[in-house]
Every structure is written in structure tokens, then in C-alpha cells.
């Protein structure tokens, strides 16, 4: 018969959710940074797309902060919101490249297209994983 884990070990949060929390926040900051940079480099003059890029930058920073500071009981929701933000950003990137978005058609040869794709795709994987692990960690 094995003895139960000490109380300290049971109360200590696992390293994986903390690592995923920091990684998820970093990816959200990456999404925000790409959009802020491109807005500054001229996307600001594109109707609808310009304001959307500026909004993306602000929301990305806000989502990153939320993921970092959310209490454990709210972390599944914060991570899910971050995941939805990343997935929406990725969907907009793909739509703008394939059929166009608000009359704007992007190209995969555009500045930061590929880095944006990979950061958004990674965030769309890391953040739902964090949401699930955080939700499981709250269960008795």
C-alpha cells in the first residue's frame, strides 16, 4: 500500500500549467507585436484593416495580461478567451490571404506573414491546452 502524497505536494501547482501560462502570454504578446508593427509600417492607412490591427495589438496585450494574472479558478476562462482571440486572428489571416477580408487581400510574401501564422497557430494550440489543464486542476 502506498502512502498518499504529502499535503505540500498536493497543494503545489504543477510546472506544466505555469509554463503554458507564460508561453501562452508570450505568444499573445507576439500576436500583438506583429499587429502593432504592421500597423505602424503602413497598415494603419488601410480602411477597416488599419483600425482592426490597432485593436488586435491592444487586445493581444490585454489577453496576455489576463492569462498571466488570472486566479487559478478563472484561468480556464482566461486561457479560453486567449485561445479564441488567437484562433480568430489566425482565421482572419487565412481569410485575408485566400478570399480577402474587408476588400483587402494579403499575400504569404508580405512582411511578417509567416511569423504571424506560426505565432497564431502556436497560441491556438497552447492556450486551449492550458484551458483544459487548468480546468482539470480545479476538479477535486
Determine the structural domain holding residue 97 and report its residue range. 17-138
Do residues 72 and 13 make contact, with C-beta atoms less than 8 angstroms apart?
Answer: yes
Instruction: Express as a percent the part of the chain with pLDDT over 90.
Output: 79
Say how many domains are in the chain: 1
Domain contains 10: no
Domain contains 39: yes
Residue 17's pLDDT is 81
pLDDT in tens, 34-57: 999 999 999 999 999 999 999 999
Residue 2's pLDDT is 58
Domain contains 7: no
Alpha-carbon separation of residue 38 from 2, 8, 95, 114 (angstroms): 57, 47, 17, 13
Beta-carbon contacts of residue 79 (< 8 Å; ≥ 6 apart): 21, 24, 67, 70, 127, 128, 130, 131, 134
- Please list the ranges in the chain whose pLDDT falls under 50: 8-9, 139-140
Instruction: Express as a percent the part of the chain with pLDDT over 70.
Output: 86
Domain contains 25: yes
Amino acid at each position: 500500500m502506498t502512502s498518499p502524497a504529502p499535503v505540500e505536494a498536493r497543494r503545489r501547482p504543477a510546472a506544466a500549467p505555469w509554463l503554458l501560462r507564460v508561453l501562452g502570454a508570450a505568444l499573445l504578446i507576439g500576436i500583438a507585436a506583429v499587429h502593432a508593427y504592421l500597423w505602424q509600417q503602413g497598415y494603419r492607412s488601410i480602411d477597416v484593416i488599419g483600425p482592426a490591427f490597432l485593436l488586435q495589438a491592444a487586445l493581444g496585450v490585454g489577453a496576455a495580461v489576463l492569462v498571466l494574472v488570472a486566479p487559478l479558478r478563472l484561468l480556464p476562462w482566461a486561457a479560453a478567451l486567449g485561445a479564441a482571440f488567437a484562433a480568430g486572428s489566425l482565421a482572419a489571416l487565412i481569410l485575408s490571404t485566400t478570399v480577402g477580408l474587408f476588400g483587402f487581400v494579403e499575400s504569404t510574401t508580405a512582411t511578417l506573414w509567416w511569423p504571424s501564422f506560426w505565432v497564431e497557430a502556436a497560441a491556438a494550440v497552447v492556450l486551449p491546452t492550458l484551458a483544459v489543464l487548468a480546468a482539470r486542476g480545479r476538479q477535486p
